[in-house]
Amino acid sequence: MRWAQSRLRDGRLGWLFVAPNLAVFGLFTFLPIAINFWYALTGGTELLPRNRPFVGADNFATLLNCGNYLDPNSCVRDTFWHGIWNTTKFVLLQVGFMISFSLVTALVLNRKIIGRGFFRAVFFYPVLLSPVVVALIWKWIVQRDGVLNAALQSTGMSGTNWLLDPSWAFFWTVFVSIWAHMGFYTLILLAGLQAIPRDIYEAASMDAASPWRTFRRVTLPLLMPSLAVVFILGMIRAVQIFDEVYVLTGGGPGTATTFMVQYIYNTGFAQGVREYGMAAAASLLLAGVLLVLTAIQLKGMMRGGRGSAH
């Protein structure tokens, strides 16, 4: 009996225990990848794959059909290209500012501060809020009769209809997503800072190094692995920005805040005629970008950093 069990243990039992997990992964992750390619290569509006006519690379050709890639309006699918350029701009601005603020916050929280636990909690709290809640909180503040405009008017400045102005709407998508996510990156950077051995700082103060010099020569180099992880993680998330922005601006005004995932969602699910093939093709292009970023991240993880997405 025990013999049988130990034989089983080394063989089939292991598989039995991982089977439910693999079944779900297979059904909702691996199979979809394969099907996604079929969707991308077929046209029509049918959902069932066998009813869809094969069109080869037509979907990709349509998406990439542009007079001038820098000018979305010259493209057949101009919204897609607006999405690409908006996303690029968003990723650069959002990740850049967010990591900077997170670093400053982590440095401040790493000092001997009264009420450090409280402040850390305050900066982290928005991370746990749902994107919809985050968007509504800020929509309520920046709406036409909102408290922001009232505050501006009381100081003599004139408010504006923030979310109806393309530049301001874009600004708010960046601002709100930094507000919602910076606590997460602050936490990881803070853990990185606390992992730096105390005696290195003591040695630096023995040598009478200035605070700035200590930061440049000790803190920053030792924090680099954490910073790199946080940077890539932030980019992976920023490329997929959707939820908050969808509720805050709906992608507008016009296409000012339409990002790549929203293009996929709109094309595949929100328009009257659902273009599954086009949505799948766009998502494969997005997957290419994410694959590169994730490969960099995994390489970092192998070298002993941390970081993952769920």
Partner 1 sequence: MAALTRMLSAKRGFAHWDWTDWISYVYLVFGTLLMFGPVLWLVFSSVKSPSGLVEFPPTLLPWEQTRVSVPGQTASLPLFKIAEGDHAGQTLAEIRKIGLQATMVDPAKPDTTIRVPAAGLKKVMHLRAAWENYTDLIAKLNFGLYLWNTVFITIVATALTLLVNSMAAFALSKYRFKGREPVFMVMLATLMIPPTIVLVPNYLIAAVLGLTNSLWGVIWPAVATPTGVFILRQYMLTLPDDLLEAARMDNASEWRIYWRIVLPLSAPALAVLAIFSVMWRWNEFLWPMVVLSRSESFTLQLALNSFQGDLETQWNYLLAMTVVTLLPVTIIFLLLQRYITQGIASAGVK
Residues 196-235 touching partner 1, rule: CB under 8 A, are 211, 229, 233
| Residue of 48, 70, 206, 273 that binds partner 1 (CB under 8 A) | 48
Can you tell me whether residue 42 is helix, strand or coil? strand
Residue 153 burial (C-beta neighbours within 10 Å; 0-12, 13-18, 19+): exposed
Nearer to partner 1 by C-beta: 92 or 291?
291
Nearer to partner 1 by C-beta: 76 or 150?
150
Nearer to partner 1 by C-beta: 70 or 272?
272
Nearer to partner 1 by C-beta: 100 or 153?
153
Binders in 255-274 for partner 1, by CB under 8 A:
261, 264-265, 268-269
Nearer to partner 1 by C-beta: 143 or 200?
143
Rounded to a whole number of angstroms, the minimum distance from the CB of residue 61 to partner 1 is 19
User: Under the criterion CB under 8 A, does residue 247 sit at the interface with partner 1?
Assistant: yes
Residue 291 tokens, joined:
């694959």
User: Under the criterion CB under 8 A, does residue 69 sit at the interface with partner 1?
Assistant: no
Q: What is the DSSP letter of 200?
A: H
How far from chain centre, in Å, is Cα 208? 41
Rounded to a whole number of angstroms, the minimum distance from the CB of residue 272 to partner 1 is 14
Nearer to partner 1 by C-beta: 74 or 263?
263
User: Under the criterion CB under 8 A, does residue 284 sit at the interface with partner 1?
Assistant: yes
What are the phi and psi torsion angles at 209 (to 5°)? -75, 140
Binders in 113-132 for partner 1, by CB under 8 A:
113-114, 119-132
Rounded to a whole number of angstroms, the minimum distance from the CB of residue 225 to partner 1 is 12
For partner 1 (CB under 8 A), the number of binding residues is 107
H or E stretch at 100: helix 78-109
d(CA 247, CA 270) in angstroms, rounded, equals 14
User: Under the criterion CB under 8 A, does residue 155 sit at the interface with partner 1?
Assistant: no
Residues β-bridged to residue 75: 66
Whether the Cβ atoms of residue 246 and residue 262 lie closer than 8 Å to each other: yes
What are the phi and psi torsion angles at 56 (to 5°)? 65, -135
Return the closest-CA partner of residue 275 out of 285, 267, 266, 264. 267
Binders in 289-308 for partner 1, by CB under 8 A:
290-291, 294-295, 298, 306-308
Stretch that binds partner 1, among 61-69, 73-81, 184-192, 202-210 (CB under 8 A): 184-192
Whether the Cβ atoms of residue 244 and residue 7 lie closer than 8 Å to each other: no
User: Under the criterion CB under 8 A, does residue 9 sit at the interface with partner 1?
Assistant: yes
CA distances from 63 to 51, 116, 303 (A): 22, 50, 38
User: Under the criterion CB under 8 A, does residue 25 sit at the interface with partner 1?
Assistant: yes
Residue 143 tokens, joined:
């709406």
Rounded to a whole number of angstroms, the minimum distance from the CB of residue 79 to partner 1 is 17
User: Under the criterion CB under 8 A, does residue 10 sit at the interface with partner 1?
Assistant: yes
Whether the Cβ atoms of residue 131 and residue 247 lie closer than 8 Å to each other: yes
Residue 134 tokens, joined:
């985050």
d(CA 39, CA 59) in angstroms, rounded, equals 10
User: Under the criterion CB under 8 A, does residue 43 sit at the interface with partner 1?
Assistant: no
| Residue of 41, 84, 91, 188 that binds partner 1 (CB under 8 A) | 188
Whether the Cβ atoms of residue 179 and residue 126 lie closer than 8 Å to each other: yes
